[in-house]
A and B are shown apart, each in its own frame.
Chain A
Amino acid sequence: NAGVTQTPKFQVLKTGQSMTLQCAQDMNHEYMSWYRQDPGMGLRLIHYSVGAGITDQGEVPNGYNVSRSTTEDFPLRLLSAAPSQTSVYFCASSFGPGSYNEQFFGPGTRLTVL
């Protein structure tokens, strides 16, 4: 099992550009989520999904879109990047509800917006 994979590992964008951060898991987990981590901070929940076709907002959803067309994939879209979105982004998955099950995290995508 590859676990949770994320691409790209690093990305530099200019303000206003769009991009998609990819996340995939091969553990047949129903729950997937996206977190961002800023320097000296804990992780903050952006969006999550409890199954294919179902998504919902987390703590800091503004500026981000998600979709869940398959169990395996959960891409995160930035429609118009802003410097405030400079951060490290982690995707996670779990067998059951994200609040009460061990989360498996990907290696992260480090995004810089100039």
Chain B
Amino acid sequence: GESVGLHLPTLSVQEGDNSIINCAYSNSASDYFIWYKQESGKGPQFIIDIRSNMDKRQGQRVTVLLNKTVKHLSLQIAATQPGDSAVYFCAVPMYSGGGADGLTFGKGTHLIIQP
């Protein structure tokens, strides 16, 4: 079945530095990739997405990079702020593997901002 893996469960960065959170996926048929942010005690919140026909997509202070050759994607956060402290999840559609209409989530990276 579909799986989404993570490189680091915790990432600690200095305020103002750039953060890079990595994710790997198993299904080469995955055609859509999403990043969610989950603050403590809250539900996940959509950050940015990218389709498989793109290598890079930029949002406000965030960039997602997709490398389909090695089935890897990353989320880059520029000039990290205290409000960026959260758990970040990557997710892929279950459906692209012939599964249910929903998402398969990775285990998440906890981003800690050092003052």
Q: Which A residues are closer than 8 A to B by beta carbons?
A: 4, 31, 33, 35, 40-45, 48, 50, 56-59, 90, 92, 97-100, 102-108
B101 x A59 contact (CB < 8 A): no
B96 within 8 A of A: yes
Establish whether residues A103 and B100, one from each chain, have CB atoms under 8 Å apart when the complex forms: no
Is the Cβ of B96 less than 8 Å from the Cβ of A99? Answer: yes
Residues of B within 8 A of A99 (CB): 32, 93-96, 101-103
Least CB distance, B83 to chain A, in whole angstroms: 18
19 chain-A/chain-B pairs, Cβ below 8 angstroms:
A33-B102, A35-B102, A35-B105, A40-B107, A43-B105, A45-B102, A48-B102, A50-B101, A58-B94, A59-B100, A90-B43, A97-B101, A102-B46, A102-B49, A103-B103, A104-B46, A105-B43, A107-B42, A108-B43
Known contacts A56-B100, A59-B100; decide if A100 and B42 are in contact (CB<8 Å): no
Cα-based distance from A30 to B4 in the complex (angstroms): 26
Mark contacts of B41-73 with chain A using CB atoms, 8 A cut-off: 1 yes-contact digit, 0 otherwise: 111111001000000000000000000000000
Known: A48-B102, A99-B101, A103-B103; 20 extra A-B contacts, CB below 8 A, are A31-B101, A35-B105, A40-B108, A42-B91, A42-B107, A42-B108, A44-B105, A45-B94, A45-B103, A56-B101, A92-B43, A97-B95, A98-B101, A99-B94, A99-B103, A100-B93, A102-B46, A105-B43, A105-B45, A108-B43
